[in-house]
Amino acid sequence: MKILVTGFDPFGTDRVNPALEVVKRLPNEIKGVQIIKLEIPTKFNVCAQVVHRAIQQEGPDYVLNIGQAGGRNGITPERIAINLDDAKTVDNAGVRRINQPIQQDGQPAYFTQLPIKAMVAAIRNRGIISTISNSAGTYVCNHIMYQVQYMRDKEFPNIKAGFIHIPLLPEQVTQRHQYQLPSLSLETDAVGIIAALNVMIDRDGKKDLFDY
Ligand code: PCA
């Protein structure tokens, strides 16, 4: 089995992205499952092209995209991706997409195939705050989650995919001088993401908790 895990590069005023940093820290293998790590650009469409190429090359069983969510206080697996780009700011290519569907012939929304309830439970078991999120926003993170689901819909039906948002790092909060914002250390991010990956591996082929 193979899991492709991606992390976005820094965007906006931030110089680091915890998503990319945590991806770099992951082991190359968990329980005999190969973990393929990929940096992707915080750019509409381009990020999807990069992931599409990696899926073609690697043929992963799972795709897990990870991104930063400033203001969140825990590790939040996303339940759903919607067919809409509506950005408050430009992406790393200087593009701002407003009220635009991502794919004309895609579904309005796609649910993740990941066992997000079991993932949340496992992350909490490590003493880390974790809740399911019901919106990945309308910026590049929702975009990539939607695009991977669209690829699954049209081209790679056997892939299971999903997205996890993680909080800012303490140093990002300090740099912004927005001291009221919550943060999580990279060490804790890594513990949480590894717990989530273990659940994905253990529950492969089984239903999610509470789905019975
Ligand atoms: N977070 C942004 C895009 C890249 C990232 O890490 C988002 O939540 O859309």
Residue 51 reports pLDDT greater than 80: yes
Residue 141 reports pLDDT greater than 90: yes
Position 167 confidence tier, pLDDT thresholds 50, 70, 90 = very high
User: What is the maximum alpha-carbon separation in the chain?
Assistant: 46
Instruction: Please tell me the distance between residue 167's alpha carbon and the centre of ligand 1 in angstroms.
Output: 11
Q: What is the DSSP string of 142-205?
A: HHHHHHHHHHHHHT-TT-EEEEEEE-B-HHHHHHHT-TTS-B--HHHHHHHHHHHHHHHHHTTT
Confidence (pLDDT) at 133:
98
Task: Decide if 78 is catalytic.
Answer: yes
Instruction: Please tell me the distance between residue 212's alpha carbon and the centre of ligand 1 in angstroms.
Output: 33
Confidence (pLDDT) at 145:
99
Set 47, 155, 165, 177: catalytic member: 165
Determine the atom of ligand 1 nearest the C-alpha atom of 143.
9
Q: What is the mean pLDDT of residues 137-159?
A: 98
- Ligand 1 pocket: which of 6, 8, 147 to mutate (most atoms within 8 A of CB): 8
Instruction: Please tell me the distance between residue 198's alpha carbon and the centre of ligand 1 in angstroms.
Output: 24
Confidence (pLDDT) at 150:
99
Which are the contacts of 183, defined by CB distance < 8 A and separation ≥ 6? 167, 168, 169, 170, 172, 173
Confidence (pLDDT) at 209:
82
Task: Decide if 141 is catalytic.
Answer: yes
Confidence (pLDDT) at 211:
73
Confidence (pLDDT) at 210:
78
Determine the atom of ligand 1 nearest the C-alpha atom of 8.
6
Determine the atom of ligand 1 nearest the C-alpha atom of 66.
6
Question: From CA 185, how far away is CA 174, in angstroms rounded?
Answer: 13
- Copy the structure tokens of residue 34: 């190969």
State if residue 6 touches ligand 1 by the CB under 6 angstroms criterion: no
Closest among 35, 40, 84, 81 to 61, alpha carbons compared = 35
Which are the contacts of 116, defined by CB distance < 8 A and separation ≥ 6? 77, 78, 79, 132, 162, 208
Q: What is the mean pLDDT of the chain?
A: 97
Task: Sort strands 76-77 and 33-40 into parallel, antiparallel or unpaired.
Answer: unpaired
Closest among 57, 32, 42, 30 to 6, alpha carbons compared = 42
